[in-house]
């Protein structure tokens, strides 16, 4: 823990000039430096060093965050009001009111007198003060955090009792704030330093265990990194990859709060992959899941659903062939910088860009929505402890803890309702819940639970879960259990439909003069259902019955199964036929216009026809034939200039088409990941994807543009997308 941080004047100014070259900005920083060097010249730190060293360190850290020139000046000046008794008038004359206000606010936070009855009350009051300052100007808290960071680094020179108090406050007040602002690097160091002073024995014990395991761990991580690197290089994705170590306090916290043994935590090797684009992230995730076994329930998509502190990344946990477990984070450079520096990455200084405190503060509030709860003026008058409760409930805890009447604690994500609670207790209890009492009062089942609520469930053994629950439940646990119940019920229903499906297939086979007995065999149907990634023959027949799968596709596939059995002679006859036909292809569009073969043929971009669609040609003035889908709204009104066209049976191999689809689903985590995974599993190429959340209905509308081969390819893909958890409806759209 004895880190030596000797930031000199030279090192500091070198760091400043690494990203600031504006003359005015530089002279402001220089001026602040010489000002505080003079003002504090007779003062020493507890360590015996000149006081200026502290200021240099704080300001240097601000530079590492690429802070604004005024923030750096404030960092240098942060102790001058309190320790040098500089008056407002002089300060404003030397610098300006803006910097004065920052330094004054920093001074005020530190000056809170501890005359509270207990430590918690004091910390609550302090917390509140910091938040109020933060809501006004975020730079105040940045300077304060960096001040505390350096004080913690030099805490060894303080009396033991003071060490404990400061460390305790750092752990309970400053580290959580750093966390909320996404300043992960600073938060981790604050936590480890606090841990060192609060529980030295435990600290040393964990540090030693980590050291012992280090070599073994490093070599395992290296092997994995090499494997993944090889895999991703083959796929020509740009990336960098490295192992990362957990900080000691986080290990300690996991051991105590999650009751895990040291080896259980350290067996989790952590690897991070940084790549170029968001899509690359999902691509990499796809490859890793294809090559290693992912542990169910461990995939976290913080890209689609950023954390409250703006953190974005994909997380997954996989089992390597060796049996080792690896935790993998995948993110872009930008996300990585945000993950390390949080809000500071967001507002880092850019040369030549005019700085506007107001708009910066506005944009920060937009990103950190939770910060706006501190806006209300009336908060200033509220009692500090109740304010603290408010903060810890609404802001710091993403989790809520509700109780059974017998006092068992059930932890749930915020927004959970009694149904989530019921399924957490037992699946059958969930299925049979008909009502709920919260704190003794009968409430609707969609009531959002709060920490401390005592939840009593009303059970009816004959009752069944309702499909509507899927829309109001918060936890995936409840949703999955409801879904699997409904699926089971569904199966019974589907079996009754399957007979219809079978008849449809028979009829179509007869129409084509094909032998029903030969093609409608169970093993053939089984193979086809596997081929279409359906759960079985019943599902296949059911989908045919409800026209969810195109009958043409089914017949094509069923009869194609036969192809392998064709003898060589027949095969060559077929090939010759194909060659003949191919000559008739007049354009790469794959369209034949009977009787004409010199016309220019184009697929219309307004409805993007796909191989297999019902199509019609429109004769343009001098531009040849534009091929539209028969149901294209543009063509529906038209009566003249239309001409019948057909798809060439023998289309050029690798001809691709673009399709646009619209997916409506219930909002949930990882939805987009799941959708993308299905698309890539079915060899669709994703060109474009966008999602819009409907906050009222809690549904998400996702639009995709996909490159595919044919209509049956698209239908197959849509059928499988429909199986994705929480998808309600999929529609192919014109554009
Ligand atoms: Mn200080």
Give the residue with greater pLDDT, 560 vs 203: 203
Dist. CA 631–CA 613, nearest whole Å: 10
Judge if 237 and 97 occupy the same domain: no
pLDDT attached to residue 734: 79
Residue ending a domain, choose from 631, 653, 675: 653
| Gyration radius from the chain CA atoms | 33
Give the residue with greater pLDDT, 134 vs 305: 305
Tokens describing residue 354: 């005019």
Give the residue with greater pLDDT, 701 vs 263: 701
Task: Please check whether residue 513 lies inside any domain of the structure.
Answer: yes
Give the residue with greater pLDDT, 75 vs 700: 75
Q: Distance from the CA of 150 to the center of ligand 1, in angstroms?
A: 8
| Residue 191 confidence (pLDDT) above 90 | yes
Q: Distance from the CA of 55 to the center of ligand 1, in angstroms?
A: 7
Q: Distance from the CA of 581 to the center of ligand 1, in angstroms?
A: 84
pLDDT attached to residue 284: 93
Give the residue with greater pLDDT, 416 vs 177: 416
Q: What is the pLDDT of residues 595-629, one digit of tens each?
A: 555 557 788 888 888 888 888 888 777 657 788 88
| Residue 78 confidence (pLDDT) above 80 | yes
- Give yes or no: 216 in active site: no
- Residues around ion ligand 1, judged by CB within 5 A, are 79, 147
Q: Distance from the CA of 137 to the center of ligand 1, in angstroms?
A: 18
Banded model confidence at residue 285, pLDDT cuts 50, 70, 90: very high
| Residue 695 confidence (pLDDT) above 90 | no
| Residue 485 confidence (pLDDT) above 70 | yes
Q: Distance from the CA of 193 to the center of ligand 1, in angstroms?
A: 17
| Residue 576 confidence (pLDDT) above 50 | no
Judge if 595 and 631 occupy the same domain: yes
pLDDT attached to residue 384: 47
The packing angle between helices 200-234 and 278-291, to 10°, is: 90
Judge if 13 and 64 occupy the same domain: yes
Q: E-strand spans in 454-587? A: 455-459
pLDDT attached to residue 319: 85
Q: Distance from the CA of 396 to the center of ligand 1, in angstroms?
A: 27
Task: Please check whether residue 462 lies inside any domain of the structure.
Answer: no
Banded model confidence at residue 2, pLDDT cuts 50, 70, 90: very low
Residue ending a domain, choose from 281, 314, 344: 344
DSSP characters over 375-437: --GGGGGS-HHHHHHHHIIIII-SEEEEE-TT--EEEEETT--HHHHHHHH-HHHHHHEEEEE
Task: Please check whether residue 634 lies inside any domain of the structure.
Answer: yes
Judge if 115 and 207 occupy the same domain: no
Q: What is the pLDDT of residues 715-728, one digit of tens each?
A: 888 988 988 888 88
Judge if 564 and 603 occupy the same domain: no
Judge if 147 and 279 occupy the same domain: no
Cut 0.85: pTM above it: no
Q: Distance from the CA of 33 to the center of ligand 1, in angstroms?
A: 14
* Cα dihedral value 567, 568, 573, 574, nearest 10: 70
Q: Distance from the CA of 79 to the center of ligand 1, in angstroms?
A: 5
Q: Distance from the CA of 69 to the center of ligand 1, in angstroms?
A: 18
Residue ending a domain, choose from 653, 681, 703: 653
| Residue 123 confidence (pLDDT) above 70 | no
Task: Please check whether residue 255 lies inside any domain of the structure.
Answer: yes
Is 660 in contact with 705 (CB distance < 8 Å)?
A: yes
Q: Distance from the CA of 539 to the center of ligand 1, in angstroms?
A: 69
pLDDT attached to residue 315: 93
Give the residue with greater pLDDT, 184 vs 654: 184
Give the residue with greater pLDDT, 625 vs 31: 31
**Residue whose C-alpha is closest to residue 671's, from 304, 418, 413:** 304
Q: Distance from the CA of 422 to the center of ligand 1, in angstroms?
A: 51
**What is the span of the domain harbouring residue 96?**
9-157
Judge if 332 and 211 occupy the same domain: yes
Q: What is the CATH number of the domain that holds 104?
A: 1.10.3210.10
Judge if 149 and 14 occupy the same domain: yes
pLDDT attached to residue 397: 44
| Phi and psi, residue 270, nearest 5° | -110, 130
Task: Please check whether residue 592 lies inside any domain of the structure.
Answer: yes
Dist. CA 149–CA 170, nearest whole Å: 9
Span 138-144, average pLDDT: 87
Judge if 137 and 36 occupy the same domain: yes
Q: Distance from the CA of 208 to the center of ligand 1, in angstroms?
A: 32
Task: Please check whether residue 376 lies inside any domain of the structure.
Answer: no
Judge if 479 and 617 occupy the same domain: no
Share of the chain above pLDDT 70, in %: 81
Dist. CA 268–CA 319, nearest whole Å: 10
| Residue 574 confidence (pLDDT) above 50 | no
Q: Distance from the CA of 680 to the center of ligand 1, in angstroms?
A: 54
For 173, counting Cβ atoms within 10 Å of its Cβ (0-12 exposed, 13-18 middle, 19+ buried), the class is: buried
Flag the least confident range among 296-305, 432-441, 531-540, 650-659: 650-659
Dist. CA 587–CA 601, nearest whole Å: 6
**Residue whose C-alpha is closest to residue 199's, from 253, 128, 260:** 253
pLDDT attached to residue 637: 73
Q: What is the CATH number of the domain that holds 335?
A: 3.30.460.10
Banded model confidence at residue 316, pLDDT cuts 50, 70, 90: very high
Q: What separation in angstroms does the CA of 266 have from each of 376, 457, 589?
A: 44, 40, 58
Span 368-372, average pLDDT: 53
Banded model confidence at residue 152, pLDDT cuts 50, 70, 90: very high
* Catalytic-labelled residue, pool 30, 83, 98, 199: 83
Q: Distance from the CA of 90 to the center of ligand 1, in angstroms?
A: 20
- β-strand partners of 659: 706
Number of domains forming the structure of the chain: 5
Q: Distance from the CA of 31 to the center of ligand 1, in angstroms?
A: 19
Q: Distance from the CA of 13 to the center of ligand 1, in angstroms?
A: 19
Tokens describing residue 653: 């191999």
Q: Distance from the CA of 32 to the center of ligand 1, in angstroms?
A: 15
pLDDT attached to residue 299: 86
Q: Distance from the CA of 472 to the center of ligand 1, in angstroms?
A: 50
| Residue 134 confidence (pLDDT) above 70 | no
Task: Please check whether residue 249 lies inside any domain of the structure.
Answer: yes
Q: What is the pLDDT of residues 323-350, one digit of tens each?
A: 788 899 999 998 998 888 877 776 677 7
pLDDT attached to residue 650: 65
- Give yes or no: 83 in active site: yes
Q: What is the pLDDT of residues 85-98, one digit of tens each?
A: 999 999 999 999 99
Dist. CA 330–CA 572, nearest whole Å: 50
| Residue 388 confidence (pLDDT) above 70 | no
Q: What is the CATH number of the domain that holds 678?
A: 3.30.70.260
* Catalytic-labelled residue, pool 82, 121, 456, 667: 82
Task: Please check whether residue 193 lies inside any domain of the structure.
Answer: no
Span 497-505, average pLDDT: 86
| Residue 476 confidence (pLDDT) above 70 | yes
pLDDT attached to residue 586: 39
Judge if 140 and 221 occupy the same domain: no
Banded model confidence at residue 710, pLDDT cuts 50, 70, 90: confident
Q: Distance from the CA of 12 to the center of ligand 1, in angstroms?
A: 17
Judge if 600 and 716 occupy the same domain: no
Q: Distance from the CA of 76 to the center of ligand 1, in angstroms?
A: 9
| Residue 482 confidence (pLDDT) above 50 | yes
């Amino acid at each position: 823990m004895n880190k030596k941080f000797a930031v000199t004047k030279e090192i500091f100014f070198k760091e400043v000039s690494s990203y600031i070259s504006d003359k005015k900005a530089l002279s402001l920083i220089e001026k602040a430096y010489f000002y505080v060097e003079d003002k504090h010249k007779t003062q020493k730190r507890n360590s015996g060093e000149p006081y200026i060293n502290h200021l240099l360190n704080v300001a240097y850290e601000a530079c590492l965050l690429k802070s604004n020139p005024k923030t750096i000046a404030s960092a240098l000046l942060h102790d001058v009001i309190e320790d040098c008794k500089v008056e407002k008038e002089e300060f404003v004359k030397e610098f300006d009111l803006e910097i004065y206000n920052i330094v004054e606010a920093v001074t005020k936070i530190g000056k809170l007198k501890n005359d509270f009855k207990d430590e918690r009350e004091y910390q609550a009051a302090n917390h509140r003060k910091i938040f109020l300052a933060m809501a006004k100007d975020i730079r105040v808290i940045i300077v304060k955090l960096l001040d505390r960071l350096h004080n913690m680094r030099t805490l060894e020179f303080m009396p033991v009792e003071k060490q404990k108090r400061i460390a305790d406050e750092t752990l309970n007040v400053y580290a959580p704030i750093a966390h909320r602002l996404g300043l992960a690097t600073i938060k981790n160091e604050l936590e480890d330093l606090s841990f060192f002073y609060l529980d030295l024995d435990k600290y040393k014990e964990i540090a030693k265990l980590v050291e012992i395991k280090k070599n073994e761990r490093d070599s395992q991580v290296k092997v994995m990194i090499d494997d993944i690197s090889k895999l991703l290089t083959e796929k020509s994705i740009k990336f960098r990859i490295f192992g990362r170590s957990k900080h000691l306090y986080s290990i300690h916290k996991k051991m105590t709060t999650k009751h895990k043994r040291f080896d259980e935590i350290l067996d989790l090797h952590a690897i991070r992959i940084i790549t170029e684009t968001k899509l690359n992230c999902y691509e990499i995730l796809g490859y890793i899941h294809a090559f290693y076994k992912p542990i169910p329930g461990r995939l976290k998509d913080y890209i689609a659903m950023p954390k409250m502190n703006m953190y974005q990344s994909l997380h997954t946990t996989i089992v390597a062939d060796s049996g080792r477990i690896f935790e993998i984070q995948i993110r872009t450079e930008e996300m990585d910088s945000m993950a390390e520096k949080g809000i500071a990455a967001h507002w880092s200084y850019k040369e030549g860009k005019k700085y506007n405190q107001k708009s910066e503060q506005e944009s920060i509030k937009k990103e950190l929505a939770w910060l706006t709860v501190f806006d209300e003026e009336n908060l200033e008058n509220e009692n500090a402890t109740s304010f603290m409760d408010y903060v810890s409930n609404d802001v710091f805890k993403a989790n809520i803890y509700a109780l059974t009447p017998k006092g068992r604690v059930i932890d749930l994500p915020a927004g959970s309702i009694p149904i989530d609670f019921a399924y957490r207790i037992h699946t059958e209890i969930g299925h049979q819940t008909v009502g709920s009492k919260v704190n003794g009062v009968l409430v609707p089942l969609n009531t959002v639970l709060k920490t401390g609520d005592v939840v009593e469930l009303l059970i009816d053994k004959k009752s069944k879960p309702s499909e509507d629950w899927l829309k109001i439940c918060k936890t995936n646990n409840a949703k999955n259990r409801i879904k699997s119940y409904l699926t089971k019920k569904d199966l019974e229903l589907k079996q009754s439909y399957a007979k219809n499906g079978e008849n449809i297939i028979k009829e179509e086979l007869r129409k084509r003069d094909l032998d029903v007995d030969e093609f409608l065999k169970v093993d053939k149907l089984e193979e086809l259902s596997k081929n279409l990634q359906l759960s079985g023959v019943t599902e296949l027949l059911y989908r045919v019955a409800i026209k969810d799968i195109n009958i043409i596709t089914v017949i094509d596939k069923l009869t194609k199964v036969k192809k392998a059995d064709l003898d060589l002679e027949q095969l060559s006859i077929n090939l010759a036929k194909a060659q003949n036909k191919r000559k008739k292809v007049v354009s790469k569009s794959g369209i034949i216009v009977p009787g004409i073969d010199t016309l220019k043929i184009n697929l219309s971009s307004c409805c993007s026809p796909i191989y297999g669609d019902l199509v019609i040609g429109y004769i343009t003035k001098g531009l040849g034939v534009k091929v539209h889908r028969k149901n294209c709204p543009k063509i529906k009104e038209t009566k003249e200039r239309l001409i019948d066209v057909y798809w060439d049976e023998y289309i050029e191999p690798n001809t691709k088409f673009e399709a646009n689809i619209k997916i409506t689903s219930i909002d949930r985590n990882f939805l987009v990941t799941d959708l993308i995974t299905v698309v890539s599993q079915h060899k669709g190429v994703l060109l474009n994807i966008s999602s819009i959340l409907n906050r009222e209905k809690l549904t998400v509308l996702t639009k995709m543009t996909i490159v595919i081969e044919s209509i049956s390819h698209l239908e197959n893909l849509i059928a499988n997308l429909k199986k994705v958890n929480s998808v309600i409806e999929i529609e192919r759209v014109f554009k």
